[in-house]
Structure formats: C-alpha cells, structure tokens
Amino acid sequence: MLGHILRCGGRDAGPLGGELSVAVPVRQNLRLGAYLVRQKLARREKFPLIVELEPLFACNLACVGCGKIQYPAHILKQRMSVATAVAAVEECGAPMVSIAGGEPLIHPEAHLIAAELVARRKFVYFCTNALLMRKKMGNFSPSPYFAWAVHLDGLRERHDASVDHAGTFDEAVEAIRQAQRRGFRVTTNTTFFNTDTPQTVREVLDFLNDDLRVDQMMISPAYAYWKAPDQDHFLGVEQTRQLFRQAFAGGHRRRWRLNHSPLFLDFLEGKADFACTAWGIPSYSVFGWQRPCYLMSDGYARTYQELVETTDWARYGRGRDPRCANCMAHCGYEPTAVLATMGSLKQSLRALSGA
C-alpha cells in the first residue's frame, strides 16, 4: 500500500500496467511525499506511515489462514466507536489508514468512521471480503481519499477454497464491477501460500490487471499466524523468493499495476534484504495499539507515543524473534523499502521511472 507514495496520476486510461501505471491521485502522491519530508526535517526517528485500524474482530468468513477471528465471543462482539477510531488516527498523525478487521462492513458505523477520516483528508483503504459490499455500498461516497481494498486470494476455485465459502469469488468480482461503475477507486489484496505456483500468481494478477482492471493490486506472502486453522501452507523465506522471482519474470512485474515500491518487490524476489520496520504500519484495535505489529501480539499500549517509546523494537525481525523467521509481509518490510527509497536519489528516480 505504501508503493503509491512514489507514483502518481489519475485512473489508468489504458493497459499501461505495472510500476508505470498512473492509478494514484496526484494529491495523494504529493501529500504523502511531503509528510515523509517533514518527518525527515524534524529528525523523527519513528513515525507511522499507515495505521492498520481494526474496529472489530468479527468476520462473516472463517479463512483457513487467518488468525484474527480466534477470539472469545465477548471479544468478537466488541465494536470500536467512531470517536475512538478517529482519535487514534489523529493522535498518531498517519496520513493513511487501512480499515480492516475482521470484516469491517459488519460494523454498523464503519461508513461513518471512513467518512470522518476522509473529511480529515486521510487516505482511507477499506479492506473487505466483499460479501456485504454491494449491500452497504450506498453508505459510502466516491472520493480521491477513499478506495475499496478487496481481498482476493486467487481465481474462483483457489479463492473460494482459501476462504472456505463457495461463491465468494463471484460476489467479490460483481461488487468490484459495481463499485467501478459508481466511480469508486478499487484496489485488491492477494495473499499467497505454498500451494501457489508462479502460474497461479500470474493468473490472478493478469485477471485483476487486464480483465477486472482494478486500480492497483497489493500482494503478500502469508504470515504464519499461530492461531490459524491451517498451519501447513505458509511460505518460508526461500520459497517466497523463488515464487515471486519466477512469477515476475518475463516482464510481468513491470506490466502489472502493483501497489508497492520497486525496492519491496526486489525484496520479495530476494534481490534486496531489509530489516523490519514494524513501527511504520502500527495496528490499533479494540485492545489499543498492538505490539509490535499487526501480525503479532505482545501486549498493547494506550497511545502511539507509548507504543513507540516502550516497545523494544530491536527484539523483532528475522534472526531476532523465531516468530519472524519466515515473515516477508508488507507491514514490516514495505516501510523499510519506502524509507530506503526516500533516502536515495538513485532509488527515488528509479521508483518514479518504474524501473
């Protein structure tokens, strides 16, 4: 999701694709670039780029690779208030918000949370499995500050198996098309497992890019949630590198409208390696600010400042915490790639050129 900090433009008017696409509004590119420059000039060592906002944990699916819904019933019934959600985002100062869960469309005031953040000129990505998207779409308004982020883990058979619910793929596709007709920006989020091959990666990204023509696509290797029902199909580091290196070959990476910085895609291929920057995409839920990241739970802080100042960040990352051994998820490594890009004239020019 951070890759678009380094690219700009309006809705893609043709099959340009890949890192050359112009699917992100100019104002977003300028606003986020200016934000990063301000943090650098202020000599702030740690600051948020995106907040993962989880106003609830409840979901209408039970995906086999998900560890976010394995909570007691009284926790799954909790709903974050609009005021609490907005206050958390304003307190940390992040320019972008990913509203996730659970399934946020279950939340009766999710549209109000999104509207309040848009009114404050925060760039909102509303994550959804799309089962309720057509029903609830009328509660939302198209805006350059708002985009749907629809979860699709493959084509019909693979996606429906991943979410353990037949018909989900077809409903998501129809919801995306309806949103496009109504003038919404639509992005997608696809998670890959060790059952994927370079061919299945290409098939789903070709479909999203060329047939469904979504604005941008985010991709990630699955993280091994310890609570997930299926513990056998998470990717290791070398498996991840081999999968994406082969899938990206032959010019595919450049052609697709991928919502990532070039350095993060290099990282997925094994052409570059980074330390984890977990504080760059903090997670705020009904419990508070989660330590150290969206994917792990080592306690909670009341404020973002407390999270930053009292978390021992040096403990986390590959080679430091065994839970991080196979993690190559965007929430830890995309911020590192973006900051490395901003710190290098060569990489900044590369990002702008789509190389």
DSSP notation for 208-231: IIIIS--SEEEEEEPP--TT-S--
pLDDT of residue 342: 75
Max mean pLDDT range (83-97, 255-269, 322-336): 83-97
Please state the rounded mean pLDDT for residues 229-256.
86
Share of the chain above pLDDT 90, in %: 65
pLDDT score recorded for residue 25: 57
Cβ distance 114 to 124 under 8 Å?
yes
- Look at 29-33, 136-140, 306-310, 349-353 and tell me which has the smallest mean pLDDT: 349-353
List all residues 6 or more positions away from 350 whose beta carbon is below 8 Å from its beta carbon: 262, 341
Non-local (6+) Cβ contacts of 170 within 8 A are: 156
**Tens-digit pLDDT profile for residues 17-27:** 333 333 455 67
Q: Which residues, in sequence order, are CB contacts of 324 under 8 Å at separation 6+?
A: 276, 296, 316, 317, 318, 332
C-alpha 208/C-alpha 205 separation (Å) is 5
In this prediction, residue 62 carries a pLDDT of 82
Cis peptide before 332 (omega within 30 of 0): no
CB of 208 within 8 A of CB of 214?
yes
Between 207 and 31, residue with greater pLDDT: 207
What are the two backbone dihedrals, phi and then psi, of residue 295, each rounded to the nearest 5 degrees?
-100, -15
What confidence score (pLDDT) does residue 310 get? Answer: 96
Q: What span, in angstroms and rounded, lies between the C-alpha atoms of 153 and 156?
A: 9
Note the pLDDT tens digit of each residue in 195-223: 999 999 999 999 999 999 999 999 988 87
When the pLDDT of each residue in the chain is averaged and rounded to a whole number, the result is 87
DSSP-derived 3-state class of residue 312: coil
Identify the band that residue 11 occupies on the pLDDT scale cut at 50, 70 and 90: very low
Question: For residue 341, what pLDDT band results from cuts at 50, 70 and 90?
Answer: confident
Query: Distance between CA 218 and CA 274 in Å, rounded?
Result: 19
Find the mean pLDDT for residues 189-200: 93
At residue 12, the pLDDT reads: 32
Its pTM stands at 0.90
Q: What are 327's strand-pairing partners?
A: none
What does the pLDDT read at residue 67? Answer: 66
pLDDT the model gives residue 318: 87
Give per-residue pLDDT as tens, 143-188: 999 999 999 999 999 999 989 899 999 999 999 999 999 999 999 9
Token couple for 184: 């919404």
